[in-house]
Structure 1
Amino acid sequence: MKTKLYTSFFFSLAMVFLLFMRVNAQSTTLTGEITGKVLDEDQKAFPYATISLLNAKDSTAIKGTLTGDNGTYTFKDLNAGKYLIAIYVVGYKKTFKGPYAIGADKRLFQVEQVQLATDAKQLKGVEIVKQKPLIERQIDKTVLNIENSVLASGNTALEILQKAPGVTVDKDGKISLRGKQGVNVMLDGKPTYLSAEQLANLLRSTEGSAIQSIELITNPSSKYDAAGNSGIINIKLKKNKNFGTNGSLSAGAGYGANYKLNSGLNMNHRAKKFNIFGNGDYGVNKRFQETDIVRVNGTAADQTYFDQTSHSDAKRINRNYKAGIDYFINDNHTLGFLLNGYHGNGNDAANVLTLIGDRPGKTDSSVVAPNTNERKYTGITYNLNYKGTLDTLGQEISADVDYSRYTAKQNSVFNNMYKDATGQPLKPAYIFRNASPSVVKIQAAKVDYTLPINKEMKLDLGLKTSFVQTDNNFLFENFNNNQWVNDAGKSNQFLYDENINAAYANINRKFKSTTVQLGLRLEQTNSKGNSVTEQKVVKRDYLNLFPTLFINQELSKDHEVGFSYSRRIDRPDYGSLNPFIYYVDLYSFRQGNPFLKPQYTNSFEFSYSFKKSLNVTFGYSHTNDVMTEVLLTDTAKKTIFISVQNLAKQDSYNMNMSYPVQITKWWSSNNNLTVYYNKFQTPNLLGLPYKSGRTSFNLNTSQTITLNSSTKFEWSGYYQSKQVYGTLLIAPQYGIDLGASKSFMDNKLSIKFAANDIFKLQKSQITSAIPSQNYVVNERWESQVFRLTCTYRFGSKDIKAARQRSGSSESEGRRVKSGK
């Protein structure tokens, strides 16, 4: 009942505010308006054509816009006077219409439909040399334009994220943005709802050739889900929009210490009433990883020294696919269906040697463990979507309904053979295995509505609901008397159900040189975790409000400042809540925590931009009940284990500076520096107060050398200084990548070469920030890989359908479509 009252009050307030704004807008003085529509040579709506409004007296440009998806354009609030309309698209003849005299006798003009004609002279000699930069700064986000990047060839989405400015990815695939974990990763604007492990597997199975761009949003608006204390990473997949039938075929091979293969097919057919598209990618990746763990366990009087080394070889085979259809009901309404899925399987073979003694360098006994692991992951998502343009003023409504199902099966066998100091058998081998099948089902639906109240004001409203169900089984078996026997004390089943209902309102108002956006999001959460075997149930129901504020001020033509604030939440992922004990080896394991609480973050950010090139941001956030991965030793069992716990609070300060430089006509440079300080505090960890903090920085740079329109070279490098996160001290990490590309056959065929970690610099070292915990974890993996990728494009490639988004309304278009 309380939830219904909150929701009713929230929307009643929004509707009253909307009515007031409408009345206020209607009371203003009416001015003139010119509208029109552009068609191509086949009399189809022409989207994103450049339209200029000119002064009829001297043909000077007054303002510009782009046509919408339905080919229409509008110039509103025009003062009295005479105007011309100019329509221009590369490859077509420039067209002028008018003059149109706006005065007291006539205020509204409907320009007759304009059908563009191709310009044979321009098409014959056209050479497109300008393209989007690799890193593009926008007012509310940073965009990595992956589609044409050399370094993306043959890499997966997870590997590409490692090259993104301010982003770090650890050995387990956990992602941090500007030194903070808790990133909400989205695909095509839709949440994944996956645990950290499942998300890492999804990103490993997504080939770079399928990615169009990656958006880094550090302080999202209320339109987005409130999850993600460090922001949102939105991965946008390719979707060909060209008319006719077209596509591309790619194949690549790579080699480091092992072979790599990848291939992909992209097809698209677009006609007047529908657009059918699909793509599939296949990848094989075999790689190694080496891990050394040196630790001391026990008390001052009784210490045990462990020196563990392991080498594992892993092979993963990934397949992902996407298919969909858009049906254009008419120029203003579109209905679409999308199918997106992936399938991955792999196996690991690890040889682990653990030397045990009572002092450094002495071996009293050892454990030799040849362990194996087989895994299989599948996922599929069905999406039904609708988008409608309700009028020429920009009033829009969109709706999405999603159903997703993810399955995972993992089987591990641990063979532990005990040896004495001379290497002879010490006691019978201890052999056990784990089977951990899991199923995740997700149902979600949302509706978004946009209303331009007047020229300077816009209102966004939306509703969303989602239901998540997970079923995790864990079977632990011991090998006794030549047969497998279930260990009921270590086997378990964990069920988790979650329902989130949300509503939001955003109001955006533009003044002369100031833009202000206020937002409020309401989210009501119902969750239930049930450890069936242990008969433990954790149930939570809570309601939260999440306000946002954005202010942008243009000080002059070259100087711009901004301020933003948001409140956000992070709920525990399903893997962290699962109380199973998952063994890495005999002395190392992970364990979930079903009593984890959600964490809440208040974030503030101040930004400065000079000529939209030099961008500097200063951020501060405070998080309560921060969820942190904690690595601890058990002195009684002499083991080392990882779990997620709620520490009391985290304070994070960061400064980010980026500066793309066009050094010469053929040499461009993108540079990004992030400096941050993370401080963690909690009153009780292992019976004592705990506090940690450290200033760290990340530096990313990429250089592009363009020899001509068909040949270019790239190199990129990164350096991450020593940092602290929770109870972990992480040593510096760094690496350098190289790439080159060459196009042939009128850009239909392209060949790309990429070299990752050319000097074998990447490695990881972790120690404890807790003085009483004495361990060092060193890791090295197959980071140096050389790849060669070939791509062939075929079919129609009309310039008119490329949907180039540029011009005077570019930023407005982004804001309207953000989050879709």
Structure 2
Amino acid sequence: MLKKLLVILTICCCFAITYASAENYSISGKVQDSAGHPVDMAIVVLHMLPDSAVVKGTYTDSVGNFILDQLSNGRYYVSISAQGYRPWQNELITLSNESPNKKVPLIKLSLLPTGLKEVEVTARKSLVVQKADRTVVNVDAMLSAASSSALDALERCPGVQVNQDGDIRLRGKQGVTVFVNDKPTYLSGTELANYLKTLPASAIDQIELMTNPPANYDAAGNGGIINIKIKRKGVKGFNGGINASLNQGHLTRYNNNLNLNYRNNKVSAFLNAGFNTGENYTDLDLNRTYLDGGNNPMSYFNQKSYFWRHNDGGSINAGADYSLTDKTIIGVTMNGMAAKWKSINDNNSYLLDLGRQPDSTIISQNNDYGKSNNLGINLNYKTQFNKSGHEITADADYLVYNTNRDQAFYNTGYSANGVERSKDLLTGQLPNRINIYALKTDYALPLAHQWKFSSGLKTSYTATDNKAEYNNTINNITSPDYNKSNQFIYKENINAAYINMSHEAGKLSMQAGLRFENTTTDGHQLGNPQKPDSAFTRNYNSLFPTVYFSYKFDTLSNNQLGINYGRRINRPYYEDLNPFINPMDKFTYYVGNPFLKPSFNHNIALSHTYKNKITTSLSYSTTVDDVNETIEIVNGIYYSRSGNIGTKTFITLSVDGDFDPTKWLNLHVYSEVSNLQSKSNFYNGTLSTGGNYWFIAGSIRVKPAKGWEGEIYGNYRSSINDAQFIMQRIGVINLVVRKKISDAFSIRVGINDILRSQVNYGKIGNLTQATANWINRSDSRNGTIALSYKFGKAFNNTARHNETGADAEKNRVKG
């Protein structure tokens, strides 16, 4: 099947190359001084009317030329600034199907008079920019997140929800894949949250939200893709920035970042390093009621846990490019993360009789010490055959993840009258290693009449090795616990190919793609003296179509209508396939599930955008075999494992708006109303749950005086019934103020969760002869002070190749 597809893909490429390529919409020009000399490295900014939003930027070359390409039809103007010269701005430029390429007449910059200060040219970036296949969030316009981490910045993006455990939802849906600079993080859960906490929001340029990504992206992730783009300067010479922040609640945390950039004619290099350290806590209450055959209360279980954690973490993202010619670039990037943690859980479990009188008590202290070291290396190649977008790229990736955890569970049991009657110790060592290899290539060819063809190939191989060695110590006698000890080896190979066609035809834009993926998996549980070996092998082929249409009703783009469709897959996290039993305490266990199947998802969305200010969207998605956390209580023990939910459907109506009532005031609001339904065969019969929920988030940003900015951000979500879980309402209000001391130095002060309303609580349904609920509190109300210092020119130009070949696999490494 794959060989036939590659033959078809090759024929398509050859067929496409026979067509003459045509220029995309573009604006070009030449900049000189009053004496006729070229002005090198002048900053050229393209603005879109009617709101003057920044669309794209570049620099003039050594002879003063510039080109802004890959544009769509619309109304624009260009502004130019250069050190020592007066700012320049042209009149209206209209690009259309009849006039797709415009050349600005020769631009002459005049020198500033001696002794006068330079005039600063500024333009406010829109917080949100809507595109046909994604929503782009400009983090610089997100003041409340600028002094925090990437994880906090994600939570402030329209339609994104992040819970206390770092789990990310996009428009209510789980299974979100996170990229950084078009490179997969290959992380999820705690590992992903720890990584994003080491990445300061001040280092982020944009965040792209794709509920239905195009065919050149891996099909993995039913919830869509979030792509975090790190700032990278394109200015010649050496420049960078330093950010440091202190966060103080009940406990203290620090987050620091260094960004360095260097560029000359042929070489460019960058370094982004982050470090965080600090403490946090979780105050968790679990309550269970055990029922008899008539569903009447029989006994009760109340557990109070206090988790104290200390984390030290660092991340590094570095790379270099070398221009072999003016059209060919080779590069290397390196991503690394190192972290260590210490967690102490003081846990009191109370077993009560029908009259809620004490029957017995378990007092526990559960310690978890760990460290992880992750490294990723990418080699990349790019050739641009011309300025119109005819190019080929190639990537080779290697990633390795090492995690080691040492656990100790001290348990002491007491009778109802407080007499000690049992004492035991459970210790565990859990080493884990994951190796990922990936190769990919992509080809793009602009064709006649504003058509563009693209295609690509990818192969990836993943090998995981998980061990768990547990020992019980009772009465000073230690023996292996073979019920929890095991070794699981998992291997996976994915081969993929895609083709994609896009077209700009005046008011109508369209894009269609088809991606093929072949997956082969092999799992082997080695067993132990009490458990036999077991193994499985699976192979499956899948096609993933994507279609986008966008229509502009007028030349000013006051009204745009869009529709898109896509099919996606969500493969289980590697760790969720691991059949180990991992204790949280004596009564709660996390269990892997080697029988998990991939889930498949269909998405369709209809949207309307008014004046690039208000976007309304109606979407429908249905998922088969959705991977979801499930809870089963057996003999009073609580087992949490990932399972396949038969079908899950989402219907969502959302509105996103951005308004500027005055020059000093900006308002942004996002709101969605969703209906979620889940149906499946379950442990105790049939699971059928659902209902409606409402989510709203908004910000008010003010500039009361020169150099001063302030922002209030808040969100609220009503209760939601997702499969087995009923999560109650939750909300937050944050406040931040920034003072710009100089062009290079600024200070931010903020308060998070002013009302201390970020408390997670809910209920667990569909349990056999039991009910359960929880309340989870954290150090959410805190204050932050952040300092930022920049040196060198601050205009950002990201023309380099950022994508790698290992995009989906990173996001299945679960912490």
TM-score range with shorter-chain normalisation? 0.7 to 0.9
1:87 Cα shift? 8.3
**Aligned counterpart in structure 2 of residue 120 of structure 1, from 107, 112, 124:** 112
1:714 Cα shift? 0.6
Distance 1:574 1:306 in 2: 33
Distance 1:660 1:88 in 2: 23
* Mapping 1:392-541, distance limit 5 Å: 392-425=387-420, 427-482=421-476, 484-533=478-527, 534-541=532-539
Partner of 2:745: 749
**Aligned counterpart in structure 1 of residue 708 of structure 2, from 707, 711, 722:** 711
* 1:688 pairs with 2:695: no
- C-alpha distance after superposition, 1:354-384 (max 9, x if no partner): 1102225211110000111112122111112
Secondary structure, counterpart of 1:220 in structure 2: coil
1:709 Cα shift? 4.2
1:453 Cα shift? 0.2
1:212 Cα shift? 2.3
* Mapping 1:592-603, distance limit 5 Å: 592-603=592-603
* 1:699 pairs with 2:690: no
* 1:89 pairs with 2:80: yes
- The alignment's TM-score, normalised by the length of structure 1, stands at 0.87
1:287 Cα shift? 1.1
1:94 Cα shift? 8.4
Distance 2:753 2:189 in 1: 25
Partner of 2:177: 184
Partner of 1:8: 7
Distance 2:69 2:372 in 1: 52
Distance 1:230 1:48, change over 3 A: farther
Distance 2:601 2:550 in 1: 22
1:663 Cα shift? 2.2
Secondary structure, counterpart of 2:216 in structure 1: coil
Distance 1:423 1:624 in 2: 51
Bigger shift: residues 480-489 or 547-556 = 480-489
Distance 2:287 2:104 in 1: 78
* 1:761 pairs with 2:760: no
Secondary structure, counterpart of 1:724 in structure 2: strand
**Aligned counterpart in structure 2 of residue 778 of structure 1, from 775, 783, 791:** 775
Contact 2:631 2:767 in 1 (8 A): no
1:158 Cα shift? 2.2
1:489 Cα shift? 3.1
Distance 1:407 1:263 in 2: 24
Partner of 2:541: 543
Partner of 2:198: 205
Partner of 1:239: 232
Bigger shift: residues 229-238 or 42-51 = 42-51
Secondary structure, counterpart of 1:660 in structure 2: strand
Contact 1:381 1:405 in 2 (8 A): yes
Extract structure 1 runs of 4+ deviating beyond 6 A.
30-45, 64-70, 93-97, 109-118
Distance 1:36 1:155, change over 3 A: closer
Partner of 2:573: 573
* Mapping 1:135-174, distance limit 5 Å: 135-147=128-140, 149-174=142-167
One-letter amino acid of the structure 2 residue matched with residue 751 of structure 1? I
Bigger shift: residues 323-332 or 621-630 = 323-332
Partner of 1:305: 300
Q: Where does structure 1 lack aligned partners over 5 or more consecutive residues?
A: 53-63, 77-85, 98-108, 806-812
Partner of 1:387: 382
Distance 2:488 2:682 in 1: 27
Secondary structure, counterpart of 2:506 in structure 1: coil
1:90 Cα shift? 1.8
Distance 1:142 1:604 in 2: 16
1:762 Cα shift? 0.7
* 1:293 pairs with 2:289: no
**Aligned counterpart in structure 2 of residue 369 of structure 1, from 360, 364, 371:** 364
Contact 1:50 1:89 in 2 (8 A): yes
Distance 1:448 1:69 in 2: 28
Secondary structure, counterpart of 2:322 in structure 1: strand
Q: Give me the CA root mean square deviation.
A: 3.5
Contact 1:601 1:622 in 2 (8 A): yes
Bigger shift: residues 189-198 or 449-458 = 189-198
Distance 1:190 1:463 in 2: 16
**Aligned counterpart in structure 1 of residue 655 of structure 2, from 654, 657, 666:** 657
Contact 1:48 1:804 in 2 (8 A): no
- C-alpha distance after superposition, 1:380-419 (max 9, x if no partner): 1111222221024331222222211111111221111001
**Aligned counterpart in structure 1 of residue 319 of structure 2, from 307, 319, 324:** 324
Distance 1:364 1:439, change over 3 A: same
Partner of 1:588: 588
**Aligned counterpart in structure 2 of residue 728 of structure 1, from 715, 725, 743:** 725
Contact 1:153 1:787 in 2 (8 A): no
One-letter amino acid of the structure 2 residue matched with residue 265 of structure 1? L
Contact 2:28 2:104 in 1 (8 A): no
1:272 Cα shift? 1.7
1:522 Cα shift? 0.9
Distance 1:668 1:423, change over 3 A: same
Secondary structure, counterpart of 2:81 in structure 1: coil
* Mapping 1:11-26, distance limit 5 Å: 11-12=10-11, 14-15=12-13, 18=16, 22=19
One-letter amino acid of the structure 2 residue matched with residue 7 of structure 1? L
Distance 1:487 1:588 in 2: 17
Contact 2:127 2:658 in 1 (8 A): no
Seq. identity, %: 29
Bigger shift: residues 360-369 or 201-210 = 201-210
* 1:351 pairs with 2:346: yes
- C-alpha distance after superposition, 1:521-551 (max 9, x if no partner): 1111111121122422121111111111100
Secondary structure, counterpart of 2:151 in structure 1: helix
1:644 Cα shift? 1.0
Contact 2:251 2:279 in 1 (8 A): yes
Partner of 1:60: none
Q: Where does structure 2 lack aligned partners over 5 or more consecutive residues?
A: 48-54, 71-76, 91-100, 809-815
- C-alpha distance after superposition, 1:223-279 (max 9, x if no partner): 111011121111112222222212222222121001111222222222122112212
Bigger shift: residues 156-165 or 573-582 = 156-165
Secondary structure, counterpart of 2:173 in structure 1: coil
Contact 2:31 2:107 in 1 (8 A): yes
Secondary structure, counterpart of 1:180 in structure 2: coil
Contact 2:765 2:771 in 1 (8 A): no
1:771 Cα shift? 6.6
Larger RCO, structures 1/2 (Cα 8 Å, 6+ apart) = 2
Secondary structure, counterpart of 2:703 in structure 1: strand
Distance 1:276 1:583, change over 3 A: same
Contact 2:412 2:422 in 1 (8 A): yes
* 1:270 pairs with 2:249: no
Secondary structure, counterpart of 1:165 in structure 2: coil
Secondary structure, counterpart of 2:259 in structure 1: strand
- C-alpha distance after superposition, 1:406-452 (max 9, x if no partner): 11111221111001122221x22121022211111111122111111
Alignment coverage as a number of residue pairs: 767
1:768 Cα shift? 2.0
**Aligned counterpart in structure 2 of residue 555 of structure 1, from 538, 553, 563:** 553
- The alignment's TM-score, normalised by the length of structure 2, stands at 0.87
Distance 2:707 2:586 in 1: 55
- C-alpha distance after superposition, 1:31-85 (max 9, x if no partner): 9999877799997975974699xxxxxxxxxxx9976897554999xxxxxxxxx
Distance 1:298 1:409, change over 3 A: farther
Partner of 2:640: 642
Distance 1:168 1:239 in 2: 27
1:183 Cα shift? 0.8
Contact 1:767 1:776 in 2 (8 A): yes
1:516 Cα shift? 1.2
